[in-house]
Amino acid sequence: MNGKVPVYDTLTQSRWYDRLSVKLMAWVLLTSLSVGLFLSFIQVSVEAVTAQKHLDSDIRQYLSTVRHSASQAIYSIDPALGDQVLEGLMSSEMIVRARILHPNGNVLSQTNRALQESPLRVLTDRLFEPTRLYTLGLYMNTPAPTHYGNLEVTIDTFPAAQRFLNRSIITFIAGLTMAMILAIVLYAAHHVILTSPIKQIIESLLRIDPAEPGLQSVSLPPQHEHDELGTLVKATNELLNAIEGHQHRRAEAEARVLRLSQYDVLTGLPNRIQFRSYLQGAIDEAQINDQQLAVICIGIDDFGSINDQHGYNVGDRLLQKFAERLNESRDTLHTSCRLVGDMLALIQFNVISTLRVAAFAESLLQDITRPFVIDDITLRISASMGIVMYPDDGAEPEKLLQQAEQTMNLAKSDGSNRFHFYVASLDAEIRERKQLEKDLLSALDQKQLQVAYQPKVDMVSGQVIGLEALIRWIHPERGFVPPDLFIPIAESNDSIVEIGYWVIRQVCQDSQALEAMGHKDLSIAINLSACQLHRTDFVSQSLSILEEEQARTEQIAFEITETAFMSDLNQAISTLQALASEGMECAVDDFGTGFSSLSYLKQLPVAALKIDKQFIRDLLDDQDDQQIVHAIIQLGRSLKLDVIAEGVESLEQARHLVQDKCRIGQGYYFSRPVFMDKLPEALDEAGQRARDILGKEG
């Protein structure tokens, strides 16, 4: 509507002399007046000439009536008769002087009168001369016609001129009146036919809302359907409709773009950006009303394996149904969105207590466990949730969302199908973990990683038979970072793969160096993570590193935990077979801590079992540990596998193990893990300690 008022003003308040009809009238008036004037002038001029001609013939006719008497008077030289004749002539008011003259110019009779006086004479004397002179010859037949004198008459032209003038004025006035009438008629016609309908059209146009130009059409003034105005109105209406259509399409396109930018295409839920602004609004309102809010981040547990197992299509459909179910259970107290992937978020408004939030989360978890049916597949899923509270945990939407997300991840890693409330100390832990993760990415390049070696000894022969390679991270600020802290991080972002290859290369080089020092036949065991084991190119990559470093396969062995095998047993078996066929032995690490089962152990091409150090720690005092250790040793013997005890810290533990027929030991008692520079002494020391067990001399 803006801009309409000034236009309307200029249209309705236009000055009268700017109006079309007035302009037309002025034109008509001017032209008809000038044409009328011109024509009247010609008419008057022509009439002036004819009027003079008429005057002449009238006078001559008048004079001829007295010719005979005047001739008689001059012939008989009778002045009295002459006077009488002239007196008769003077009865015409036009005649101002009359004379009867002898041929020699002597006057017989004469009479005079003054010219008529009138202010109009100024004009009439210009049109006609003031007087006109007529001379009539006087003859007598005596017997032949003889000239006896002249009759001379002077007339005043004024009376005739005045009559002429009166007629001319009437002619002029008639002409003017005609012009005026024509102008007025044209003005009126123009007003009725053009100005007034145009005004109606303009008013109708001004009523049109520019925002919706097609809503109202310009009205057609009656009786103008078929003329140019009708065409104008129709064309205008078509144009307005076209504009409306165009605007409509444009608005639709804009709305589509807006939807795409604010809503998730798959679930139709608001996206993260939109949700953040909802959350900001909710926080603002909660702040005013002094209320609490809960932000709940929900992730489907193990969504990746649903995708792997049933395909992305089913995964997408599940997400849709999942979103629908969340919305079903949502009342006016909630609003939800899709953050990313399988992660949804929810705001719970006006929370009275965290207990209520917990109850709500619990009910959501329950709700989610109801099976989802997609086509003919029935899926049972669970979800994990992270919950943050406004204002307790923060007031910044993005921060709250991040915290909720982290808390959810924590709930997932805690075993899933549960909810966690955000705890500030955990947040700090997560942040530290994130920082470590970042630092770890550059640790390799910046040569912050090193490999330490811990000897394995044959407790019966008193010989060092091998080493275990244990990675060390010397952080530039934090110093020593324990592998138990950073290995899981490296596993979570797969950087363990690159690190693992680096360890293999390092071990090859160190093994060569050891051989050069005379320590032959010491195979070095390298710890492997599940994700390394499950890489299809692991064996070939490892072999090419060995080749590059000119190491033999017997110099290398691997230690793999039970849980690493279990996640994909078939893959593990084929990798281990490939390693074994190349001459690289594998040991089951941390044996006894997982789901140790005979059936899988029989299938695995492994050469040794490593008893986890947790069973060795209290071996001398704890009956249970003694029994477990005994059982593992027996199992190893029956399967013809070496059994290695790790975490041996004392001579007594070592003796107990030897008595129980465990030959190989590893632990602080023999040697701590040491770097290459200290390794030769450590090897000697470990050998000595091993021989001490059975009291052998060095």
Least CB distance to Ca ion at residue 461 (A): 22
Answer for which of 562, 585, 589, 625 binds Ca ion (CB under 5 A) is: 589
Confirm or reject binding of residue 590 to Ca ion (CB under 5 A). yes
Least CB distance to Ca ion at residue 518 (A): 26
Kindly indicate which of the ranges 32-40, 198-206, 403-411, 478-486 contains the residues binding ligand C2E, using the contact rule CB under 6 A: 478-486
Query: Which tokens hold the place of 387?
Result: 């919950």
Using CB distances below 5 to 8 A depending on partner kind, what does residue 230 bind out of ligand C2E, Ca ion, none?
A: none
Which residues, at least 6 apart from 292, have a Cβ–Cβ distance to it below 8 Å? Answer: 286, 350, 351, 352, 389, 390, 391, 392
Which letter does DSSP use for residue 157 in this model?
A: -
Give, for 362, the enclosing helix (H) or strand (E).
helix 354-369
Confirm or reject binding of residue 647 to ligand C2E (CB under 6 A). yes
Confirm or reject binding of residue 668 to ligand C2E (CB under 6 A). yes
- In the bound state with Ca ion, the residue whose beta carbon lies nearer, of 124 and 511, is 511
For residues 179 to 218, the per-residue mask of contacts with ligand C2E, x marking binding by CB under 6 A and - elsewhere, is ----------------------------------------
Using CB distances below 5 to 8 A depending on partner kind, what does residue 647 bind out of Ca ion, ligand C2E, none?
A: ligand C2E
Site for ligand C2E in 278-337 (CB under 6 A): none
Query: Which tokens hold the place of 504?
Result: 């293999």
Give, for 340, the enclosing helix (H) or strand (E).
strand 334-340
On whether the CB atoms of residues 341 and 383 are closer than 8 A, the answer is no
Kindly indicate which of the ranges 230-238, 373-381, 439-447, 557-565 contains the residues binding Ca ion, using the contact rule CB under 5 A: 557-565
Kindly indicate which of the ranges 61-69, 302-310, 574-582, 665-673 contains the residues binding ligand C2E, using the contact rule CB under 6 A: 665-673
Least CB distance to Ca ion at residue 616 (A): 10
Kindly indicate which of the ranges 91-99, 131-139, 195-203, 588-596 contains the residues binding Ca ion, using the contact rule CB under 5 A: 588-596
Least CB distance to Ca ion at residue 648 (A): 12
SS3 content of the chain, % helix, strand, coil (to 5): 55, 20, 25
- SS3 string, 181-202, reads HHHHHHHHHHHHHHHHHHHHHH
Least CB distance to Ca ion at residue 646 (A): 5
78 φ, ψ (degrees, to nearest 5): -115, 90
Confirm or reject binding of residue 654 to ligand C2E (CB under 6 A). no
Closest CA to 452 of 526, 551, 548: 526
CA distances from 28 to 173, 631, 669 (A): 17, 128, 128
* Alpha helices by DSSP H, 193-227: 196-206
Kindly indicate which of the ranges 216-224, 246-254, 430-438, 584-592 contains the residues binding Ca ion, using the contact rule CB under 5 A: 584-592
**To 10 degrees, the CA torsion angle through 332, 338, 339, 345?**
30
Pairing relationship of beta strands 556-561 and 523-528 according to DSSP bridges: parallel
d(CA 547, CA 217): 87
Kindly indicate which of the ranges 11-19, 320-328, 525-533, 573-581 contains the residues binding ligand C2E, using the contact rule CB under 6 A: 525-533
Exposed (0-12), middle (13-18) or buried (19+): which is 172, by Cβ within 10 Å? middle
Confirm or reject binding of residue 562 to Ca ion (CB under 5 A). no
Confirm or reject binding of residue 405 to Ca ion (CB under 5 A). no
Least CB distance to ligand C2E at residue 690 (A): 14
Confirm or reject binding of residue 527 to Ca ion (CB under 5 A). yes
| Binding site residues, ligand C2E, CB under 6 A | 454, 469-471, 482-484, 487, 496, 500, 503, 527-529, 559, 589-590, 613, 646-649, 667-668, 673
| Binding site residues, Ca ion, CB under 5 A | 527, 559, 589-590, 612
